[in-house]
Chain A
Amino acid sequence: MRPVWMERPSVASHVSKAAVLVAVCLLVAFPFLVIVSTSLSSAETLDRTGGYVVFPTSLDFSAYEAILSGGIVTRAVLVSVGVTVAGTAVSLVATVLLAYGLSRRGSFAHRTLLAIVLLTFLFPPGVIPSYLVVKELGLLDTYASLVLPTAVSAFNVVIMRGFFMNVPQELLDSARIDGAGEWRVLLTIVLPLSKAVLAVIGLFYAVAYWNAFFTAMLYLNDTAKWPLQLLLRTYVLGGSTLGGSSSFDPGGAASLPPVQSVQMAVVVIALVPILCVYPFLQRHFATGVLTGAVKG
């Protein structure tokens, strides 16, 4: 007799699984639907529904027009894309080099360096010490301040180090016998075998850079350098229409889109880029996150 998991599933089993999957998908998709629908709704629709819309009766793009028309958001998107791309590249290079060094037994002071890396897990730097270091390094109000203070994550180093340690030693030995140096071993043997972990760690870094607003608030003085997330934060937290909570407008102004629509449009704008990137990296995700989960 075959074990139960090898039996052919019954129709009832298929149906129940499908029902559960559909329910879960709906649970995930429904908030997205509400967000998109609300962002496309007029003030009248919002008034009628009490604030959240599932199916808009008519499409109103005024919230998107208001956000995107002035060029501020466009500029912030460019800043965010630039910081995310450059930051992810810097972080990956730094993390790969550090993790590779720490993964090679016998490399110089690797135990001490590993202990220092792990120490940042236990004692993360506070806001003010970080600010003081950035200031002393002359990085205030520069794009570098959005990247360098968070360039290396100890967590990602540990994950990547674990992956590198699982690369068969025999491969590395044979490369060395053929005359390869450490750089060649890293670039032609280790990294090509580590695409999965590179993709996942790269995604971790990219999402972190894309979502970061606090470092920008802390280190930047010029609002023209603000990344998207900090800008969007003012829309979401301000709770005001685009005219502003205290803007003085004695003569009246054009009718402004409702707050709720603007907030939801902002959420959509923030979500879209990551949604575009995620499917291409998703296939690496399972491999990457399982790295180090089971220690052989």
Chain B
Amino acid sequence: MNQSISRRSILRSALFGASAVALGGPLLAACGSSDSGSGGSGSGSPSAGSGPVDLPSYRPARYVEPDLPGTADGVQDGYLRFPSQLQRSVEELPTDWERLTSLVLTYDPPPPAAGDNAYWTAVNERIGGELAPTIVPQADYREKFNAVMAGNDIPDTVLLTGDQLTMPRLTELLGARFADLSEHLSGDAVEAYPNLANIPTYAWRSARVNGRLWGVPVEQQVLTNVMMARVDLLSSIGVTPADVKTTDDFTDLCAELTAPQSGRWAMGPFGPTMMLLFWAAFGVPNNWRLESDGTLTKDWETDEYFAAVEYHLELSKQGYFHPDFTGFTVTQAKQSFSSGTTALYMDGLAGWRGFIEQERRTVDEIGVMLPFAQPGSDPVFHVSSGIFGITALRQDDPGVLQDRLRLLDFLAAPFGTEEWFLLNYGVEGVDHEMTNGLPVLTDKGIEEIRTMFKFIGAPPGVMFSGQSPEWVEAQHAWESAVIPATIPDPTVGVYIEPVEDTTGALQAVYDAVADVTAERISIDDFRAITQNWTEKVGNETRERLQEAMG
């Protein structure tokens, strides 16, 4: 980093910063500066070349045969026991490197510093260099990212989450700052990195912007938000989650579960983006619906969406929600479910595992609802893009980029490999102890490992729990039942320049969903707000998406 100071350099930087702020984002500064990295691979227009490059070939790498095999469309592999023999998946690592800097976010407190962290030291020794992530709290990641881009202070790898991938002038930013990885990863070229080739195709869609590949996905289960159920409470009234097949069944279930005199209600808050099962019940499109004539319809432009909202209102009027549900924090909502004050609860699918492993619950206590539908209809279920984000690489010489991809290949080592074991369990005696053939993380291990390197590179998720093989079976069965009912978002992997004030207009609708479900505004007011979105940004967004989709 050039740290020499001059009056001119400060003035120039200040002017870039001021311009970026004035134009509503840091990208002008990020893209306007002339000293953009070192030539090398990837500089130039992201749309260079003819037509989109092929997505990387999918080459599943199973080092241990799963007890419950997954599928390429989103059911994860399930393992009921820990592998007796771990295998080495990465024989050759780069030698001509010292340090890999990264910008990543975290939901956790940071791990101990490098010198006090046996896990970090062990990983560094294994790879022959130093992984040096800059870890930013998730809530602040946007500000840090914008500042780093504006300062042209780009680390070797940068995590781009959905927030960054929908920002204005994304393509210019990628072209100016990040490496075009198409020649390294497209089609069969990815086979040079076997663990990256193990990442399913659905996850790569979002790494292709304007036809070129700009990063390596950090895969995330396509089934994200689910409705969890207190199976024990349902059992007490003679119902199992699988018994609920229609909205009528669900209404009856809520009625039976709700007993205010006993301090129990069917549901807590769902939030504006969490009414997933109601959307499923009424066949609401997954974000956008691609019509037969090639046009797009936004979810809240459909009658089905309003039917789902009205269904929520109807349940609310019946008193099936906790009376304080509109003021609940996430922690309160989870606590209410945990204590049995509410019997149904929306959370990420990972939350199920959290209840089983961290709160020592069983699948007979905590389960997940299957999607249900209106009588006579089939339920649908929304799938996500299948990524947490993509890891983009700073522009550099092709050889350097290949070395960095090999390091990402190491971090993506799958279940059953020595590398995976090291990355997830650290050092025996410090980070984990072997108990009955199972590695059990120590408190020190939990503290040291956290999410250190998982948002730089990670393998596709699998299901395994030394504590609860029953949970693996239950979630595998649930995923197998739900995946066939899923409908995709047709705009995943389609990048457009966002219409001005897209974020504000979207937020207005989300706020309105919260307001209408809390009966603070009428359904007519809500409809007017969605129509305002359509006029303000929706129609223009639709046109741009349709054009991009051809």
Interface residues of A (CB under 8 A from B): 43, 46-48, 50-51, 66, 69-72, 75, 126-129, 131-133, 135-138, 140, 214, 217-218, 221-224, 226, 230-231, 233-235, 237-256, 258-260, 263
Q: Is the beta-carbon distance between A244 and B107 smaller than 8 angstroms?
A: yes
Q: Is the beta-carbon distance between B440 and A244 smaller than 8 angstroms?
A: no
Nearest 8 interchain pairs by C-beta: A224-B113, A138-B3, A223-B110, A129-B17, A132-B13, A47-B339, A244-B108, A131-B147
Interface centre among B5, B112, B114, B335 (most CB of A within 10 A): B335
**Inside 8 A of A258's CB, which chain B residues have their CB?**
335
**Inside 8 A of B449's CB, which chain A residues have their CB?**
247
Q: Is the beta-carbon distance between A217 and B341 smaller than 8 angstroms?
A: no
Report Cα–Cα, A217/B142, bound state, in Å.
11
B330 at the interface (CB under 8 A from A): yes
Quick one: which of A218, A242, A250, A260 contacts B446, CB cutoff 8 A?
Answer: A242
**Inside 8 A of A237's CB, which chain B residues have their CB?**
137-139
**Inside 8 A of B136's CB, which chain A residues have their CB?**
217
**B351 CB to closest chain A CB, in angstroms?**
9
CB closest chain-A residue, reference B443: A254
B 3-32 binary contact with A (CB < 8 Å = 1; else 0): 101000110011011101100001001000
B47 at the interface (CB under 8 A from A): no
Q: Is the beta-carbon distance between B14 and A133 smaller than 8 angstroms?
A: yes
Please report the total number of B residues contacting A with Cβ < 8 Å: 77
Q: Is the beta-carbon distance between B26 and A260 smaller than 8 angstroms?
A: no
Given known contacts A223-B110, A234-B110, A50 and B339 CB-to-CB distance under 8 angstroms: yes
**Inside 8 A of B5's CB, which chain A residues have their CB?**
136-138
Report Cα–Cα, A140/B103, bound state, in Å.
15
Q: Is the beta-carbon distance between A131 and B17 smaller than 8 angstroms?
A: yes
Given known contacts A72-B112, A72-B447, A250 and B137 CB-to-CB distance under 8 angstroms: no
Report Cα–Cα, A270/B317, bound state, in Å.
42
Q: Is the beta-carbon distance between B358 and A136 smaller than 8 angstroms?
A: no
Report Cα–Cα, A156/B21, bound state, in Å.
27
Interface centre among B331, B445, B466 (most CB of A within 10 A): B331
Q: Is the beta-carbon distance between A135 and B109 smaller than 8 angstroms?
A: no
**Inside 8 A of A71's CB, which chain B residues have their CB?**
112, 116
B332 at the interface (CB under 8 A from A): yes
Report Cα–Cα, A223/B113, bound state, in Å.
7
**Inside 8 A of B451's CB, which chain A residues have their CB?**
244-247
**B133 CB to closest chain A CB, in angstroms?**
9
Q: Is the beta-carbon distance between B112 and A70 smaller than 8 angstroms?
A: yes
Q: Is the beta-carbon distance between A247 and B139 smaller than 8 angstroms?
A: no
**Inside 8 A of B424's CB, which chain A residues have their CB?**
248, 250
**Inside 8 A of A132's CB, which chain B residues have their CB?**
10, 13-14, 16-17, 29, 150-151
Task: Please list 8 pairs of residues, one from A and one from B, whose beta carbons are closer than 8 Å in the complex, sorted by A's number.
Answer: A71-B112, A132-B16, A140-B1, A238-B108, A240-B108, A246-B107, A251-B467, A252-B438
**Inside 8 A of A47's CB, which chain B residues have their CB?**
335, 338-340
B536 at the interface (CB under 8 A from A): no
Report Cα–Cα, A238/B108, bound state, in Å.
6
Interface centre among B109, B110, B444, B447 (most CB of A within 10 A): B109
Quick one: which of B137, B143, B334 contacts A127, CB cutoff 8 A?
Answer: B143
Chain B 103-160 interface residues, beta-carbon cutoff 8 Å to A: 106-114, 116, 134-140, 143-144, 146-147, 150-151, 153
Q: Is the beta-carbon distance between B140 and A253 smaller than 8 angstroms?
A: no
Report Cα–Cα, A214/B137, bound state, in Å.
11
Identify 13 new A-B residue pairs, CB closer than 8 A, beyond the known A136-B10, A246-B451, A250-B465.
A50-B335, A127-B146, A127-B147, A128-B29, A128-B151, A217-B137, A222-B134, A231-B110, A233-B139, A247-B451, A252-B465, A253-B442, A263-B331
**A160 CB to closest chain B CB, in angstroms?**
28
B478 at the interface (CB under 8 A from A): no
Q: Is the beta-carbon distance between B82 and A250 smaller than 8 angstroms?
A: yes
Q: Is the beta-carbon distance between A128 and B467 smaller than 8 angstroms?
A: no
**Inside 8 A of A233's CB, which chain B residues have their CB?**
137, 139
B 243-260 binary contact with A (CB < 8 Å = 1; else 0): 000000000000000000
